[in-house]
Amino acid sequence: MPRWNAAGLMEPTSLTDAAALRLVVRPVCRCGHSMTFDPHGLWWHFQRRGWDDRLPKVRRRFWCIVCMAQWRKKVRPVRIETANERSAAVVLPMPPEREWKRQSRALR
């Protein structure tokens, strides 16, 4: 379930919430590099693998490609942000409509 912040807006707590609210997901590295991901495709990617989609746990599945090229080791992002943007830089395969509708009904 999304939570409410001090400004009275809903904040997602999982990839499911981010997809339902249509917010792109942005992991941010300590080097400053970030990338935006489409929430629906990212949710489906996690769902197919059986991974936990809560945002604090999602952070462990990402690593910075810039730091990997420079330091030759995986550097995890310092935070996961969600943003209300029109397009995402990385668009993963979308879930089948049947699966997303099933998930949407479960959120209600």
**Residue 1: its pLDDT value, please?**
64
106 belongs to a structural domain:
no
CA distance 28 to 59: 10
24 within 8 A of 12, measured Cβ to Cβ: no
pLDDT band at 90; cut points 50, 70, 90: very high
In the block, tokens 């668009």 appear at 91
Tell me if 33 is assigned to some domain: yes
Domains held by the chain: number = 1
In a domain, 101, yes or no: no
Verdict on whether the full-model pTM lies above 0.95: no
Residues of the domain holding 69: 11-87
Whether 16 maps to a domain, the answer reads: yes
Phi, psi of 48 (to 5 degrees): -65, -30
